[in-house]
C-alpha cells in the first residue's frame, strides 16, 4: 500500500519507514529535515517540504494516490516548548490541521504519533488510556490538541484513525544502521552511551532523592522497533475496518535512571561518568504504561527486545558501527 509518512526522516519515523518497506508497503516521506536525516531514508521516495504549508501534503497525497498518512512531523522538546510555545502550537497543531484536512477530503486512514506527555502528573500507575489528560507543557498540550482535532475531523468526515501514545522510545535498528540523532540530544540512553564512550560530558542526573528504589526517576522504555511494529498493526486494523484506536505504547515496566546507566556500562564495557544536578521543573518520580489496550485493539505487546539490556545493546551496536 502506498502511504505518506510525514517526518519520516526522524528517529521514530525512519524506523517505521523501514518497517513499512519490509512489510511490502510503499512509503513516501515528506520531511523538511529540520530534525531528520536524509541518509536515514536512502532509497525511499522523498520530498522536502513543510507539512504545515497549505497544499504541500495535499499535493503529495494526490500525486502518488496515497492510501494512508502516518504523521510523525513535530517538535518534541518539552523544555523548548515552555520557552517557545508558539513554535510548538504552530508546528504540531498546524501540521495536524493539514493532515486532518487532507484525510477529510480523501477519506484515508491516519496514524498519529502522540505521547504520554498528554497525561501530565500521573494519579495512578501503570497509566491507563482512560487516565485524565492534564499536560504539564505546551508540548503535551499541542499533542492533546492534535488528538482532539483528529478525532473530531474523523468523526465528521468518516475516516479511520489511530492515536499511539509513546512512553520512552529508545534502541536502534541494527540491520538498517538507524539510531537516535537528535540535535541537541536530550534522551537518556544516547547521552549515557556518549558519556561512557568519552565523547561527551558527564551524564547529569536530575535529582537523586526521588521516591524510587535508588533515588532516580523511573521511566518506561520501549524499543523503537517494537514501536514500528505497532504502527504496522495499527495501519492494518484501520484498513481492515476499525474506526478509531487510542493506545499506550510502552514496555509496561519501569526502569530507573541508574538502572539504565548500569545497562550502558555493561554494554560499553566502561563506567558512565555522572554528576548530580537539581530536579527539573515538571519531572515526576515514575511513569509506567498500561499497554492492555494495545494488546486488545492491536494484538501488540512489547517483545523481549524492549528489555533495557537489549535496548542499550542495540543502541551501542549502531553507534559503534557508525564510528
Give the count of beta carbons closer than 10 Å to the beta carbon of residue 43.
7
Nearest to 3 by CA among 56, 50, 96, 70: 70
Tell me how many degrees the CA angle 196-198-204 measures, rounded to the nearest 5. 60
Which of the following is catalytic: 139, 161, 166, 221? 139
The terminus-to-terminus CA distance of the chain in angstroms comes to 36
DSSP class of 310: H
For the question of residue 139 being annotated catalytic, the response is yes
162, containing H or E segment: strand 161-166
Give 86's contacts (C-beta < 8 A, 6+ positions apart).
none
Q: Quote the cell numbers at residue 102.
A: 487532507
Going by C-alpha positions, the residue among 100, 74, 225, 207 that lies closest to residue 157 is 100
Helices and strands per DSSP (H, E), number in the chain = 11, 13
Radius of gyration of the chain (CA): 19
- Rounded to the nearest angstrom, the gap between the alpha carbon of residue 180 and the centroid of all alpha carbons in its chain is 11
Burial of 286 (0-12, 13-18, 19+ CB in 10 A): middle
HSE-CB for 129 with a 13 A CA cutoff? 20
Question: Maximum distance among all alpha carbons in the chain?
Answer: 56
**Cα 236 from Cα 70, distance rounded (Å):** 12
Please list the active-site residues: 139
Amino acid at each position: 500500500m502506498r502511504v505518506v509518512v510525514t517526518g519520516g526522516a526522524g528517529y521514530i519515523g525512519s524506523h517505521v519507514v523501514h518497517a513499512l518497506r519490509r512489510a511490502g508497503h510503499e512509503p513516501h516521506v515528506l520531511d523538511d529535515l529540520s530534525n531528520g536525516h536524509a541518509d536515514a531514508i536512502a532509497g525511499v521516495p522523498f520530498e522536502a517540504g513543510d507539512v504545515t504549508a497549505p497544499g504541500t501534503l495535499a499535493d503529495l497525497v494526490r500525486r502518488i494516490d496515497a492510501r494512508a498518512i502516518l504523521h510523525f512531523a513535530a517538535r518534541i522538546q518539552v523544555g523548548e516548548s515552555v520557552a517557545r510555545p508558539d513554535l510548538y502550537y504552530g508546528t504540531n497543531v498546524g501540521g495536524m490541521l493539514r493532515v486532518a484536512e487532507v484525510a477529510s477530503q480523501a477519506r484515508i486512514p491516519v496514524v498519529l504519533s502522540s505521547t504520554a506527555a498528554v497525561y501530565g502528573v500521573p494519579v495512578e500507575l501503570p497509566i491507563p488510556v482512560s487516565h485524565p489528560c492534564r499536560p504539564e507543557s505546551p508540548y503535551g498540550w499541542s499533542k492533546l490538541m492534535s488528538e482532539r482535532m483528529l478525532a473530531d475531523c474523523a468523526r465528521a468526515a468518516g475516516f479511520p484513525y489511530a492515536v499511539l501514545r509513546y512512553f520512552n522510545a529508545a534502541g536502534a535498528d541494527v540491520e538498517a544502521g538507524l539510531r537516535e540523532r537528535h540535535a541537541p540530544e536530550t534522551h537518556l540512553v544516547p547521552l549515557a552511551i556518549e558519556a561512557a564512550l568519552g565523547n561527551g560530558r558527564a551524564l547529569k542526573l536530575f535529582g537523586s532523592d526521588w521516591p524510587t528504589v535508588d533515588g532516580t526517576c523511573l521511566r518506561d522504555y520501549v524499543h523503537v522497533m517494537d514501536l514500528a511494529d505497532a504502527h504496522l498493526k495499527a495501519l492494518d486494523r484501520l484498513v481492515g475496518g476499525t474506526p478509531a484506536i487510542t493506545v499506550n505504547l510502552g514496555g509496561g515496566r519501569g526502569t530507573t535512571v541508574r538502572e539504565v546507566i548500569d545497562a550502558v556500562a555493561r554494554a560499553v564495557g566502561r563506567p558512565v561518568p555522572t554528576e548530580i544536578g537539581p530536579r527539573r521543573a515538571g519531572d515526576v518520580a515514575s511513569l509506567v504504561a498500561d499497554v492492555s489496550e494495545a494488546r486488545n485493539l492491536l494484538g501488540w505487546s512489547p517483545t523481549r527486545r524492549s528489555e533495557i539490556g537489549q535496548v542499550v545493546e542495540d543502541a551501542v551496536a549502531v553507534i559503534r558501527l557508525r564510528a
